[in-house]
Amino acid sequence: MTKFSVGNLLAAFTAILAGTFFPPVRYPTSVMPDDIIVDFIVVGSGSTGSVVAGRLAEISEWDVLVLEAGGQPPAFAKVPFLHFGTDFTNTSYVNYYKKRPQKYSEQFAKNIGGLYMRGKVIGGSGTINQMMYHRGIPQDYENWATQGNPGWDYKTVLKYFKKTEDYQGPLKSRDAPFRAFGGPIGVEKVSWKPPVCRVAIRAGEEMGLAEVDYNTDTTIGSAIFQLTTKNRERVTTADAFLLPGLRRRNLKLQINSQVIKILMDAENRAIGVKYVHKNKVRK
């Protein structure tokens, strides 16, 4: 249980404030009958599930059902840096998992276990996280491809990064081949920079670390964080893929439905799920 603190009080206040000025996004939902047959069941509407469901539903002949354990996202989720609204005692939007003590990672808390927070809401952890947008290091993709994973080289995956992106930040001519516009996911640089941030960038430049766009082929240097926001509002994959897909007749979303078991046939193929909805086990 989260202990009461000034931080809890501040989080609750900001959640109320956000709800006053920013109307929450409401996703169309359905309650499906027992034993309904669909072509695809997507478990969870998180950062991956929303993309999978939205893309599958583009094939009009396929019926797609998304089962989400959580509910509708809160108003404060749209406001960058109010994600800590999930930290007060109302845990409707999150699941807390106990972490094992880490030997090599998390050196700031070495050998100490802790809680790992994941989203339990439409959009999953993308609704409550800090929105950092980082594609990764190009050489890592090349390594995966050479290890026998065709299609994972950087040139190939770059096409899909660009397909999903609507870049709203400043753009240098050398970086233009790596950025794109008009995609469903907004990407912006952090708009407000405290003085210490500018000092850090200048210090890096004095050390030979030029300010770079780290989502290109240049990943060594100084940089301002990029966020998955558009017009200064959070953009989740649920906003970008699931919500537009729900306008189609062949995509349905059922919330407050916790999947507890994947049903298999005699050949170990998944053929359905069991889930809990309104305290009843259904399938």
pLDDT per position as a tens digit, 7-48: 556 556 666 666 666 777 899 999 999 889 999 999 999 999
How do 64-67 and 251-254 pair as beta strands?
Answer: parallel
Find how far residue 215's CA is from the centre of its chain: 17
Cβ atoms 159, 180 nearer than 8 A: no
pTM: 0.85
Q: Residue 40 and residue 23: Cα distance in Å, rounded?
A: 32
Domain 6-131+235-282 has CATH 3.50.50.60: yes
Q: Indicate left, alpha or beta for 271 from its phi (over 0: left) and psi (-120 to 50: alpha).
A: alpha
Distance, in Å, from the CA atom of 98 to the CA atom of 10, rounded to the nearest integer, reads: 25
Check: CB of residue 168 under 8 Å from CB of residue 156: no
The token pair that represents 215 in the structure block:
């989502």
pLDDT tens digits, 152-210: 999 999 999 999 999 998 899 999 999 999 999 999 998 888 888 889 999 999 999 99
Per the listing, tokens 């516009």 go with 181
CATH 3.50.50.60 in the chain, residue ranges: 6-131+235-282
The span from the CA of 258 to the CA of 274, in Å, is: 9
Structure confidence by residue, pLDDT tens digits, 209-243: 999 999 999 989 999 899 999 998 999 999 999 99
Residue carrying structure tokens 């009080």: 9
Q: Residues 160, 75, 88, CA angle at the centre, nearest 5°?
A: 105
pLDDT at position 34: 87
